[in-house]
Chain A
Amino acid sequence: MSRQINHDFRSFARRSLLSPRRAMARGLSRNLAMVLLVMVFSAEAGIGLLVFHDLSRSYSEMQRMYDRSVRGLRQIGEMQYQSQETRRSTLYALTTNDANLQVGYCDMSRAADRGVKKGISEYLAQASAPQELAAGRVLAADWNDYLKVRDDVLGRILEASTKEAVEVDLAYGVPKFEKVSQDLEAVKQLYDRQATQELVTVAKFSQRALIRLIAVLGFCLLFGSLAVLAIQRAQLQSERHIAKLQMDFVAAVSHELRTPVATIFSAAENIRDGLPQQREKFMEQGAVITHYASQLNELVDQVLSFTTTAEGKPWHAVGALAVSEIVETALDNASGLLKEAGIGVEKKIDPGLPMVAGDLGSLSRCLQNLIVNAAKYGGADRWIGLVAEIDDSGVGPQVSIRVEDHGIGICDRELPFVFDPFFRSAQVVDAQIRGTGLGLAIAKRSAEAFGGTLSVESQIGIGSVFTLRLPAFSRAQETNLDAGIPAENLEVRQ
């Protein structure tokens, strides 16, 4: 039983947290968590794209830089080699007197020279920066100057003027070639500088990508933590609310138990002490004991009913019942309260109503709860309307039983929760009207157990109308059979 009550506390807590103020708070918490998660996801996706963009850009930049640097350095290296080869071949020609070998060295020198010229042309063609163009032009000019000396030296070698060739080479060739070497070094340095600048750019991209990556991780951590915090907070609120409901229920039940028990105890003490001398007084004490014992019985019945009802499942044998029988039984059961409160019931039962399916005890208690509710909150009019009629609004034939009052009414925001177990409106609690918050929940469960429905319409200050709709027997019987109720549990009561 306690497990069932605990379960209902939790389900009600979940629903009741959706009550206007709490629903808003819970919605905010839950939405906040969702919003945070969506933000985290969006931020991850957005910054992830940026990081990807940066990384791919730095990759392409690095590839471009590598291509350019490698090509450039290879070009410079080739030019350096070919220039050395030009000079080397020229010097080789000095080492022999064989004119054929000398001519061969001349050819080698000129071939290498063409390689250098080609390299310079390519460099100038691809150079874009002013420094590059200037360096290329200086290199071309110095190379041409050196070639003039080279040609002179080669000519003198071939003319057998070796000594003069050496003198010319030392006087002009060496400095000119040195200048060419410096020019090539300058071009190489330009490449190095450019590569360094591009490396800085790539490093900048990589650094930016890294910072963004750290940012996204930090962002995810922060908002993930906030989301978890919000979810935990919502769960904590839910747990607190459940605890509060349990406390409220225990307090209400305790109060409901203590009052009659104390009264019965007091009356019993009076009788024990022989205080009621007269027969009328004695009977009066007995009536008090009977009344409060009945109240206790009713409370225990209510709690037991609640715990033994499971949503949508009948717990008694289903039989065909006359609507009038249900109404009369309910009115009989509530007669004491109605009489005590001085409430008049205006009853209107259509003749020829079909039989309905159900258990008399359950359905009469269901209706009785509605009547008691109307009596409790019916207001100063002390009037309850009770109408039973054919209802064509459903799929099949059904009977509706309306319980109306001119009471305080229920506000719109509380209407969705009135059938929740343990729900008691703030207005009722403030008015210190006793109750456990189980009556309407039990009524709704009873109606639904037999394929019926229970609904409410209400306006503050005007009153409430509770409508119990029960399917006609034939349909209900089929429903119950479909629900697996043994055939022997079905009986027809006239």
Chain B
Amino acid sequence: MRAQFGRLASRVYLLNGKAALTNQLTIRSMAVLIVVAGLCSSRSTRAEFSPANRSHPGVSLAIVVNLANPINNLSSDELRSLFLERKSHWPNGRRIAVAMLDYQYPERRSALRQIYHMDEDAFQEYFIKAIFRGDVFAAPRTLASPEMLRKFVFNAPGAIGYLRSSDLDDTVKVVKIDGRLPDDKNYSLQIDEPAEE
């Protein structure tokens, strides 16, 4: 973990291209380091949890928001924009908080592929850069399990995340994507990756 943290930190410095940091850069760099450290720690600690055989090709990936969120329908582009945090606030004024499942979950990889159109490394790089540039207020929050993600969405009015259909309950609100719910035909977000052991 330390080696990984070191590599990421060096990458930050290289991206700036300067050996001596200004105060502003220092603050941004520290913020990025914290985010990266958080991501690394999540990755390492959550790896202990091994969800057995959760992936069934053809299972829908539902997009969920807080019950208080007035949004009911999103287009695929809006969804991507939200997950990339190109928007910082919802129409109701709440800050958007993207919730991602931990690394070993197939839902995450499906989301990266189908929403972000990225792999894990590209995702990491995107947010490191975005945070460093100040385009993004905070990187997506990584939750250890679908249950934790569901609770996160329940507690945060501005949260948005994803869950497989079987993990849904009435504490979260499912948003239509391109006018379709997860159970609808031709729903675009599917978990199509086999399970990891």
Which residues of chain A are within 8 angstroms of B152 by Cβ–Cβ distance?
99, 102-103, 158
Contact check, A160 vs B97: say whether CB atoms are below 8 A apart: yes
Instruction: Mark the stretch among B22-30, B105-113, B118-126, B139-147 that contacts chain A.
Output: B139-147
**Shortest beta-carbon distance, A31 to chain B, in Å?**
91
| Residue of A97, A107, A155 most packed against chain B (CB within 10 A) | A155
Complex partner residue of B158 from A97, A98, A102, A159, CB under 8 angstroms: A159
Contact check, A158 vs B156: say whether CB atoms are below 8 A apart: yes
A65-106 vs B, CB cutoff 8 Å, 1 = contact: the mask equals 000000000000000000000000000000001111011001
* 29 cross-chain CB contacts under 8 A: A97-B34, A97-B38, A98-B38, A98-B41, A99-B99, A99-B142, A99-B148, A99-B152, A100-B142, A100-B148, A102-B152, A103-B143, A103-B148, A103-B151, A103-B155, A106-B151, A107-B151, A151-B155, A154-B155, A155-B155, A155-B158, A158-B97, A158-B141, A158-B152, A158-B155, A159-B156, A159-B157, A160-B138, A160-B141
Which residues of chain B are within 8 angstroms of A4 by Cβ–Cβ distance?
none
Complex partner residue of A160 from B41, B95, B144, CB under 8 angstroms: B95
- Judged by a CB distance under 8 angstroms, whether A161 is at the interface is yes
Complex partner residue of B94 from A98, A100, A106, A155, CB under 8 angstroms: A155
- Judged by a CB distance under 8 angstroms, whether B137 is at the interface is yes
**Shortest beta-carbon distance, B73 to chain A, in Å?**
22
Which residues of chain B are within 8 angstroms of A151 by Cβ–Cβ distance?
155
- B:156-175 near A, CB below 8 Å: 156-159
- B:65-79 near A, CB below 8 Å: 66
**Considering the chains assembled together, what is the distance between the CA atoms of A401 and B8 in angstroms?**
151
**Shortest beta-carbon distance, A155 to chain B, in Å?**
5
**Shortest beta-carbon distance, A97 to chain B, in Å?**
6
Which residues of chain A are within 8 angstroms of B137 by Cβ–Cβ distance?
160
**Considering the chains assembled together, what is the distance between the CA atoms of A154 and B152 in angstroms?**
10
Contact check, A161 vs B38: say whether CB atoms are below 8 A apart: no
Q: Which 7 A-B pairs have the closest CB atoms?
A: A158-B156, A99-B141, A160-B138, A159-B97, A159-B95, A155-B157, A106-B155
**Considering the chains assembled together, what is the distance between the CA atoms of A99 and B34 in angstroms?**
13
Contact check, B157 vs A99: say whether CB atoms are below 8 A apart: no
Contact check, A161 vs B95: say whether CB atoms are below 8 A apart: yes
B3-28 vs A, CB cutoff 8 Å, 1 = contact: the mask equals 00000000000000000000000000
**Considering the chains assembled together, what is the distance between the CA atoms of A106 and B152 in angstroms?**
9
Closest to B144 in A: A100
Which residues of chain B are within 8 angstroms of A154 by Cβ–Cβ distance?
155-156
Contact check, A158 vs B159: say whether CB atoms are below 8 A apart: yes
Interface residue ranges, A against B (CB under 8 Å):
97-100, 102-103, 106-107, 151, 154-156, 158-161
**Shortest beta-carbon distance, B71 to chain A, in Å?**
15
**Shortest beta-carbon distance, A78 to chain B, in Å?**
24
Closest to A104 in B: B148
- Report how many residues on chain B are interfacial, defined by Cβ distance under 8 Å: 24
Which residues of chain B are within 8 angstroms of A161 by Cβ–Cβ distance?
95
**Considering the chains assembled together, what is the distance between the CA atoms of A199 and B11 in angstroms?**
75
| Residue of B38, B42, B137, B152 most packed against chain A (CB within 10 A) | B152
**Considering the chains assembled together, what is the distance between the CA atoms of A155 and B66 in angstroms?**
10
**Shortest beta-carbon distance, B111 to chain A, in Å?**
16
**Considering the chains assembled together, what is the distance between the CA atoms of A103 and B144 in angstroms?**
10
**Considering the chains assembled together, what is the distance between the CA atoms of A151 and B143 in angstroms?**
20
**Considering the chains assembled together, what is the distance between the CA atoms of A159 and B152 in angstroms?**
9
Which residues of chain A are within 8 angstroms of B41 by Cβ–Cβ distance?
98
Complex partner residue of B143 from A100, A156, A159, CB under 8 angstroms: A100
**Considering the chains assembled together, what is the distance between the CA atoms of A158 and B95 in angstroms?**
10
- For the complex with contacts A158-B97, A159-B94, A159-B97, 11 further pairs of A-B residues with Cβ separation under 8 Å are A98-B41, A100-B144, A103-B152, A151-B155, A155-B156, A155-B157, A158-B155, A158-B156, A159-B95, A159-B158, A161-B95
**Considering the chains assembled together, what is the distance between the CA atoms of A160 and B99 in angstroms?**
12
Which residues of chain A are within 8 angstroms of B151 by Cβ–Cβ distance?
103, 106-107
**Shortest beta-carbon distance, A467 to chain B, in Å?**
120
**Considering the chains assembled together, what is the distance between the CA atoms of A463 and B156 in angstroms?**
128
**Considering the chains assembled together, what is the distance between the CA atoms of A249 and B119 in angstroms?**
144
**Considering the chains assembled together, what is the distance between the CA atoms of A98 and B97 in angstroms?**
13
**Shortest beta-carbon distance, B195 to chain A, in Å?**
22
**Shortest beta-carbon distance, A268 to chain B, in Å?**
145
Closest to A158 in B: B156
Contact check, B144 vs A159: say whether CB atoms are below 8 A apart: no
**Shortest beta-carbon distance, A66 to chain B, in Å?**
42
B37-72 vs A, CB cutoff 8 Å, 1 = contact: the mask equals 010011000000000000000000000001000000
**Considering the chains assembled together, what is the distance between the CA atoms of A159 and B161 in angstroms?**
12
**Shortest beta-carbon distance, A90 to chain B, in Å?**
11
**Considering the chains assembled together, what is the distance between the CA atoms of A171 and B113 in angstroms?**
43
Which residues of chain B are within 8 angstroms of A155 by Cβ–Cβ distance?
66, 94, 155-158
**Considering the chains assembled together, what is the distance between the CA atoms of A271 and B34 in angstroms?**
162
Which residues of chain B are within 8 angstroms of A102 by Cβ–Cβ distance?
152
**Shortest beta-carbon distance, A84 to chain B, in Å?**
20
Which residues of chain B are within 8 angstroms of A106 by Cβ–Cβ distance?
151, 155
Which residues of chain B are within 8 angstroms of A97 by Cβ–Cβ distance?
34, 38
Complex partner residue of B159 from A98, A100, A107, A159, CB under 8 angstroms: A159
Which residues of chain B are within 8 angstroms of A160 by Cβ–Cβ distance?
95, 97, 137-138, 141
**Considering the chains assembled together, what is the distance between the CA atoms of A102 and B42 in angstroms?**
14
Which residues of chain A are within 8 angstroms of B155 by Cβ–Cβ distance?
103, 106, 151, 154-155, 158
